[in-house]
Amino acid sequence: MVALPTQNQLYAFYISRCAHHRVGKPNEQVLELLLEDEFSRLSWQKAEAAEHLISLDELHDMEGDSPSTLQNNDTPLAMKTTFRLPNSSLDEGPVHIGARGMLSILDLIQELPLLEEVDLSNVTSWYIADAFTHTREGAPCGNAVIKRLCEVIKNLPALRRLDVRTQPIGTLAANDLLHAIQGCQRLVDVFFCRKAVENRLCRTIDEALDKNREASAQLPSPSLPEALPPYLSRILTLDRKTLCEQQQLRWLLTEDDNFTGAVTEEELSEIVLHARLMSTSEVVWRCSNDGLRGDGVHLFVIKDGSLRACTDLEGLKLGRGDYFGDTYEHVIIYPSSRIVETERGIVYAIPLEWCRSLLDVWKKRVFELYSELRSFPIMQVVDTWTRVRLCTCSMLHHYKPGEVVLNVGDFRKAVWIVCSGFFEASAGTIEDKVATGRYEIHRFVKADVFGVEAVVARKGCSSVTVSVGKESKTIYSAVVVCGSAIRIISNSIRSVFVSLARPYSLHDDLRRIATKDLERGACFSII
User: What span, in angstroms and rounded, lies between the C-alpha atoms of 124 and 82?
Assistant: 19
pLDDT, residue 525, reads: 35
pLDDT, residue 134, reads: 56
In residues, how long is the chain? Answer: 527
| Of the candidate ranges 39-43, 113-117, 441-445, 447-451, the one whose mean pLDDT is the lowest | 39-43
User: What span, in angstroms and rounded, lies between the C-alpha atoms of 350 and 263?
Assistant: 15
Residue 16 banded pLDDT, cuts 50, 70, 90: confident
pLDDT at 66 over 70: no
What does the pLDDT average to over 109-116? 94
Paired sense of beta strands 82-83 and 525-526, if any = unpaired
Go through the domains of the chain in sequence order and give each one's CATH number.
Answer: 7-37+73-233 (3.80.10), 240-364 (2.60.120.10), 393-526 (2.60.120.10)
3-state helix, strand, coil in the chain (%, to 5): 40, 15, 45
pLDDT, residue 495, reads: 87
Q: Which residue has the higher pLDDT, 55 or 386?
A: 386
The amino acid present at 132, given as its one-letter code, is F
pLDDT, residue 335, reads: 66
What pLDDT digit, counting tens, does each position of 409-418 carry?
A: 888 889 999 9
Whether the CA torsion 351, 354, 358, 363 is positive or negative: it is: positive
Q: Report the b/e string of 174-206 with b at 16+ CB within 10 A.
A: bbbbbebbbebbbbbebebbeeebeeebeebbe
User: What span, in angstroms and rounded, lies between the C-alpha atoms of 40 and 49?
Assistant: 14
pLDDT, residue 54, reads: 77
Residue 82 banded pLDDT, cuts 50, 70, 90: very high
What pLDDT digit, counting tens, does each position of 281-304 carry?
A: 999 999 888 888 888 899 999 999
pLDDT, residue 514, reads: 31
Short-list 155, 161, 137, 165, CA closest to 264 = 137
For the chain, what percent of residues have pLDDT higher than 90? 42
Q: Tell me the sheet residues that pair with 278.
A: 347
What pLDDT digit, counting tens, does each position of 151-170 carry?
A: 999 999 999 999 999 999 99
pLDDT at 429 over 60: no
Name every residue whose Cβ is closer than 8 Å to that of residue 482 and which is 6 or more positions away in sequence: 256, 257, 258, 393, 394, 412, 413, 414, 415
Name every residue whose Cβ is closer than 8 Å to that of residue 81 and which is 6 or more positions away in sequence: 114, 115, 116, 117, 158
Residue 64 banded pLDDT, cuts 50, 70, 90: low
* Residue 177 phi, psi dihedral angles, 5° rounding: -60, -40
Paired sense of beta strands 117-119 and 82-83, if any = parallel
pLDDT at 214 over 70: yes
pLDDT, residue 428, reads: 55
Residue 65 banded pLDDT, cuts 50, 70, 90: low
pLDDT at 520 over 70: no
Which range in 115-119, 139-143, 271-275 is most confidently predicted, on average pLDDT? Answer: 115-119
Q: Which residue has the higher pLDDT, 377 or 90?
A: 377
Distances (CA, A) of 74 to 7, 38, 44, 264: 11, 8, 18, 41
Distances (CA, A) of 103 to 147, 468, 514: 10, 46, 62
Helix (H) or strand (E) holding 190: strand 189-192
User: What span, in angstroms and rounded, lies between the C-alpha atoms of 309 and 291?
Assistant: 7
pLDDT at 98 over 60: yes
- Crossing angle of helices 356-373 and 265-274, rounded to 10°: 110
pLDDT, residue 353, reads: 93
- Report yes or no: 406 and 462 within 8 Å, Cβ to Cβ: yes
pLDDT at 312 over 60: no
Mean pLDDT of the chain: 84
From the CB of residue 521, how many other CB atoms can be counted at a distance below 10 Å?
12
Residue 492 banded pLDDT, cuts 50, 70, 90: confident
pLDDT, residue 336, reads: 65
From the CB of residue 157, how many other CB atoms can be counted at a distance below 10 Å?
16
pLDDT, residue 291, reads: 86
What does the pLDDT average to over 476-501? 90
What pLDDT digit, counting tens, does each position of 350-369 carry?
A: 999 999 999 999 999 999 99
Q: Which residue has the higher pLDDT, 33 or 47?
A: 33
The amino acid present at 514, given as its one-letter code, is A
